[in-house]
Structure 1
């Protein structure tokens, strides 16, 4: 959520590189993703090119490569399109995961930490729960050996 949370998680080795798995992760400067008319035109042109070449790719080639492998080459021509498409795929996957977690869990609201402790120590029925808690309470739960996992945050929740 913020720099303090990041630093705390990095200090506890909870942040891992998704590519190599190392816990040696540091913050870096990033350019903001500002949507400009040039960027929209570039994406639109790249999408049109992909659509026009799709019939040829769907037919396959003599190499025997699958259509999925063949479709990777045109996407790499545009530096903007793969990231945008990959981000959409990841966000959609997070939506599915989050929906499954909520569907198969009970919302205990602000009583999350208390209820998690009751379940862990056998004072309440064992079940999947979700709710709200403070970062400090979540850290205390982890220190007690109680497994907790934050629900994935989706971009529309921040708007």
Structure 2
């Protein structure tokens, strides 16, 4: 196991354990790593001295807090999936339609680029970016 310090495009830094560098590379290329602060998937390694775990190392002091945060984010995801309509890549379009009264108001979720989300906010559309943590994260 290896611990990397990672940084998103918004400069949030966080740590994550990986089986090896190849595992990190494949997850990063697939967009499976998200910033726990802003949800950005454009995560890269930050300058660091990687820590390699040999055997059963003691968890880092932040590990319980990080695990609790991941669990809370998983619960948020489950609630969103249970109570909101998934609109996929049409999120910005559908959010605007709801905001301007062109369709019935309802909670939705989906994907939007950072620029689309910023445009929505500037128009006064209430949107929130959530880190989408899966069961394996």
Tell me which interval the TM-score lies in, with the shorter structure as reference length: 0.5 to 0.7
1:91 corresponding residue in structure 2: 70
Q: CA deviation at 1:153?
A: 2.7
Q: 2:87 aligns to what SS in structure 1?
A: strand
Change (3 A) 1:32 1:111: farther
Q: CA deviation at 1:36?
A: 1.5
Structure 1 stretches of 4+ with a deviation exceeding 6 A read: 155-158
Q: 2:89 aligns with which of 106, 110, 113?
A: 110
In 2, Cα distance between the equivalents of 1:156 and 1:31? Answer: 27
Change (3 A) 1:155 1:129: closer
Q: CA deviation at 1:84?
A: 1.1
Aligned residues: 98
Please state which structure has a larger fraction of its residues in helix.
1
- The answer to which structure, 1 or 2, has the higher relative contact order (CA under 8 A, 6+ apart) is 2
In 2, Cα distance between the equivalents of 1:31 and 1:96? Answer: 31
- Give the CA RMSD over aligned residues: 2.8
Q: CA deviation at 1:151?
A: 2.5
Q: Which runs of 5+ in 1 are unaligned?
A: 8-17, 19-28, 44-79
Q: Is the 8 A contact 2:87 2:94 kept in 1?
A: yes
Q: CA deviation at 1:86?
A: 1.4
Q: Which runs of 5+ in 2 are unaligned?
A: 1-6, 12-36, 38-45
1:124 corresponding residue in structure 2: 103
In 1, Cα distance between the equivalents of 2:60 and 2:79? Answer: 29
Post-superposition CA distance 1:45-73 (Å, at most 9, x none): xxxxxxxxxxxxxxxxxxxxxxxxxxxxx
Q: Is the 8 A contact 2:74 2:135 kept in 1?
A: no
TM-score by length of 1: 0.52
Q: CA deviation at 1:35?
A: 3.7
